[in-house]
Amino acid sequence: MTLSQGNEILRISEAETHLLLAFWQGLYKKEDIIHFVWENRGGCVSESSYYKLINQMRNDFSSIGLQSSDIVTRPRVGVSLSVSIEPIKKITTVKVQDKNVNGNLSRKSIIYKIKHNSAFIVLAGVIILILFYGMFHIYSAPARKSPDAFFTYLGEYNDYVIYKTKEDKVTLSEVVFAYNSLKIKIYRQNGRHLYYIREPNLNIFLQCLNPVEMAVPKCITVKERY
């Protein structure tokens, strides 16, 4: 709240505001003023706080061009004002409106921040998913034609990824025929990567859980003469 006289305006504390309201309502006894000013404060309020507040209000009066003696102490009666005071309703209304505007701006700012943060979280989530998707395909894709690889990708059959040695001219159909000719049964749980090595009168399959070029291979060997 502010205290004004002419062009002089002074901002005052909550306790000083309540003291002026007490004077405006006609209160003058010390006990009544203490109760009115500090009614929401728990515990007892000392008389020193009361007198300190009166002196502070007198200083405020002097700051805006009023007389400190306008606050009159009447022995055994109480304290009263020798001047009249009136609240300025228009200023109060403007201040309330300003508070409402500030409140609306604050709410809009909060909503914008929430939306902005939500958009950032969604974008970060999409980027993470794309990275995981790319890593999955990198590590799950078969090694194709790496110049340093001993094996090269040949094709797929029966949910198996089939490779051959780099120098071998064997075709996918020939490897499939060799696979189907095996008397030793190959189980899918041992891996879906089949590496075919052709030797004279001998078919060799390496069955691996992961591509040998991508990581430490976990393989079993299946050999069979033909």
Measure Cα distances from 151 to 18, 136, 206 in Å: 91, 22, 11
pTM here is 0.36
3-state secondary structure 157-176: ECCEEEEEECCCCCCHHHHH
Tell me how far apart the alpha carbons of residues 36 and 53 are, in angstroms, rounded to a whole number: 13
DSSP element (H, E) containing 155: strand 151-157
What are the pLDDT tens digits along the chain (226 aa)? 777 767 778 888 888 888 788 787 778 787 888 888 877 665 567 778 878 888 888 888 788 788 777 788 877 777 877 777 766 655 444 454 555 555 665 666 666 566 666 667 777 777 888 877 766 655 555 544 454 578 899 999 999 999 999 889 999 999 999 999 999 888 889 999 999 998 888 889 999 988 887 767 788 999 888 8
Residue with tokens 């909550």: 14
CA–CA separation, 61 vs 6, rounded Å? 12
Distance CA 181, CA 79 (A): 116
**Residue 144 pLDDT:** 47
